[in-house]
Structure 1
């Protein structure tokens, strides 16, 4: 297959244009821009002109009082939820107090101030609390020994 002369000229022009475009975008002029000294950087940052993506406010720590209140309130809510459809409330209450306290204690370890505030003050369960609850329930209830299954027809 032969390339005609107009085709060759077009290909050469395209290749030269691409090479020129890559060379121009690769070169940059850093001579004119000097990094600001410490005083100028502080002034610019307080003025809001410089945005630092790594500078973010950290969540305020949860106090021990909030954690303790969350732990007991959440455990009480958990027991209440489990007793809702129970026929023998006294026996079931004694049975559910320990796992619910384990779940609340496990959740309390990674509790944020926003979650504690919404649960304690506004009585709301956030999606992050639901996820933590499922993780804690798995952690606390998996260690519990499962009842032995019945043996059918002498199989073990």
Structure 2
């Protein structure tokens, strides 16, 4: 019984000491996030903007139904409840005239599988699914392999 009590006491002491040592690592518990090894209270300079290729690069899909990538910058595009800059070129009425890809017919179907005359509210905010192509290194490693039928 005494041995168990000593082991428990030593275990708790070691845990407290090692936890204290880790927490002394700049006050962030030794954890490094995508922000880097920076305390939350510290404002660090913003990362540089990623380069968006000027020429459209056709990046192949990795899986079926993958949303297409945006091949141009969208820095000043407004997408809000009142406006959607994407639709000014990619909407069905203007796409041919603008030389842009039309949005998919799937964007006109609501959650009850009803076809609407305008873009479905759940598909209105383009950047929920579509991202800009960028020459950027991956944030985290991945062992993902493309679907064999797409290779």
TM-score, scaled relative to structure 1 = 0.27
More helix by share: 1
Q: Which has the higher contact order (CA 8 A, sep 6+)?
A: 2
